């Protein structure tokens, strides 16, 4: 009996030591990333950028035009392929969900924060040299898009949270909203189709959904268009082919140089109607299981297709005249 008690005590000590070791290693890694982001070279925000949010299509009472301005920030430029000038659109690893970082002239926006705790997304933002966001967008109310926001909001301190007030809200969605309510100075916006704001010299437009009453709640998800100079990127949210058809029917011109496919390139979306309307030169499939029919459809339409399963993190860069991909 004495030997058994001794064995149990040693086993408990071993488990405790292992847990403490892993915790210290994780804290050390996060500290290293933070120090790197703070110490290495900085790039000043482009003075020509005048990022403001327009009031058209904002369903939040009590806000004025003066309330909706983004402050200038300083952006470190070093690791992870983020350029200081022009437009950078980077897909991040985010568990089962998606996260896309948009940076233009030193201003930053995060579309989605993934399905995990948010630590993975925050670490990648630090690797990009991003210590603070101007705008965070929860692309839908699905857990795969809202779970990580709970950590992103207090750590990256965005000025605005743009989110969808969907029909169904689970515990993770409610935790995101609770974190937003606690964040000092954070403005929350529920956009309508057509909301437009500037991010540096880029123009961001919410192109969908046209409504939030759908048979399939996934079609409540947000989709955005980013225009920079003569180049454009379409970032589809978590919508299905039905939601895409709604956007095609309600938006006049959808043609874009690059398309980031809905649902990571899954079979439920990126239908023929959307592909024909967008006619992208470049298509990014960010999911873990991109559908081959979607890839074939895009290729036949003339798009060069890149998948995260083959290329990992993918980056689009634009100088306003040309747009290219760095897989």
pLDDT beyond 70 at 76 = no
What would the two tokens of residue 178 be? 């609770």
Q: Are residues 92 and 198 in the same domain?
A: yes
- The CA–CA distances, whole Å, from 201 to 38, 46, 141 equal 25, 9, 29
Counting residues of the chain whose pLDDT is more than 70, the rounded percentage is 74
Average pLDDT, stretch 299-303? Answer: 97
d(CA 195, CA 201): 16
DSSP-assigned states of every residue in 247-280? HHHH-S----SEEE-GGGG-TTS--HHHHHHH--
Number of domains into which the chain is organized: 2
Q: Which residues contact 8 (CB under 8 A, 6 or more apart)?
A: none
- Which pLDDT value is given to residue 68? 39
Could you tell me the sign of the dihedral formed by the alpha carbons of 114, 119, 120, 126, in that order? positive
Q: Are residues 99 and 243 in the same domain?
A: yes
Closest CA to 70 of 96, 37, 104: 104
Q: Are residues 73 and 196 in the same domain?
A: yes
- Which pLDDT value is given to residue 12? 52
Q: Are residues 53 and 156 in the same domain?
A: yes
- Which pLDDT value is given to residue 127? 84
Query: Which tens digit of pLDDT belongs to each residue from 232-245?
Result: 999 998 899 999 99
Q: Are residues 189 and 292 in the same domain?
A: yes
Which of 45-59, 163-177, 217-231 has the highest mean predicted lDDT (pLDDT)?
Answer: 217-231
pLDDT beyond 70 at 95 = yes
What would the two tokens of residue 1 be? 């009996």
Q: Are residues 149 and 284 in the same domain?
A: yes
Per the listing, tokens 């290729």 go with 299
Q: Are 88 and 82 in contact (CB under 8 A)?
A: yes
Query: Which tens digit of pLDDT belongs to each residue from 13-41?
Result: 556 565 666 665 555 555 555 444 443 33
Average pLDDT, stretch 42-53? Answer: 36
- Which pLDDT value is given to residue 257? 98
Q: What is the mean pLDDT of the chain?
A: 80
Burial 20-30 (b: 16+ CB within 10 A, else e): eeeeeeeeeee
Q: Are residues 16 and 48 in the same domain?
A: no
- Which pLDDT value is given to residue 13? 56
Q: Which residue has better confidence, 9 or 240? A: 240
Q: Are residues 116 and 78 in the same domain?
A: yes
Q: Are residues 146 and 107 in the same domain?
A: yes
Q: Are residues 13 and 75 in the same domain?
A: no
Average pLDDT, stretch 70-93? Answer: 64
CATH of the domain at 150: 3.60.15.10
Helix (H) or strand (E) holding 307: strand 304-307
pLDDT beyond 70 at 120 = yes
Q: Residue 215's pLDDT band (boundaries 50, 70, 90)? A: confident
d(CA 237, CA 214): 15
Q: Are 225 and 233 in contact (CB under 8 A)?
A: yes
Q: Are residues 11 and 95 in the same domain?
A: no
Q: What is the dihedral of CA 315, 144, 198, 279, to 10 degrees?
A: 60
Residue 129, domain extent: 42-326
Q: Which residues contact 252 (CB under 8 A, 6 or more apart)?
A: none
Q: Are residues 129 and 191 in the same domain?
A: yes
- Which pLDDT value is given to residue 85? 80
Angle between helices 119-127 and 149-156 (to 10 degrees): 40
């Amino acid at each position: 009996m004495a030997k058994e008690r001794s064995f149990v005590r040693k086993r408990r000590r071993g488990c405790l030591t292992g847990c403490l070791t892993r915790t210290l290693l994780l804290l050390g890694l996060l500290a290293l990333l933070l120090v790197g982001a703070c110490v290495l070279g900085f790039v000043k925000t482009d003075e020509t950028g005048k990022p403001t949010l327009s009031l058209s299509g904002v369903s939040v009472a009590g806000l004025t035009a003066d309330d909706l301005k983004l402050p200038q920030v300083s952006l470190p430029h070093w690791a992870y392929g983020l350029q200081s000038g022009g437009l950078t659109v980077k897909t991040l690893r985010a568990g089962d969900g998606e996260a896309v970082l948009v940076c233009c002239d030193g201003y930053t926006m995060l579309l989605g924060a993934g399905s995990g705790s948010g630590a993975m997304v925050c670490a990648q933002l630090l690797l990009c040299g991003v210590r603070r966001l101007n705008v965070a967008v929860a692309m839908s109310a699905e857990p795969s898009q809202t779970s990580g926001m709970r950590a992103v909001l207090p750590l990256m301190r965005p000025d605005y949270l743009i989110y969808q007030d969907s029909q169904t809200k689970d515990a993770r969605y409610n935790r995101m909203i609770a974190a937003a309510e606690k964040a000092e100075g954070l403005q929350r916006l529920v956009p309508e189709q057509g909301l437009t704001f500037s991010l540096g010299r880029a123009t961001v437009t919410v192109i969908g959904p046209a409504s939030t009453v759908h048979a399939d709640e996934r079609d409540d998800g947000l989709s955005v268009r980013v225009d920079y100079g003569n180049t454009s990127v379409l970032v589809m949210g978590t919508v299905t082919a039905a939601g895409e058809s709604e956007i095609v029917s309600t938006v006049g011109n959808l043609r874009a140089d690059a398309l980031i496919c809905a649902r990571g390139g899954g079979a439920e979306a990126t239908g023929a109607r959307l592909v024909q309307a967008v006619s992208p030169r470049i298509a990014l499939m960010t999911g873990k299981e991109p559908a081959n029919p979607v890839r074939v459809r895009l290729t036949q339409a003339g798009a060069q297709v890149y998948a995260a399963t083959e290329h990992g993190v993918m980056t689009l860069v634009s100088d306003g005249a040309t747009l290219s991909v760095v897989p």
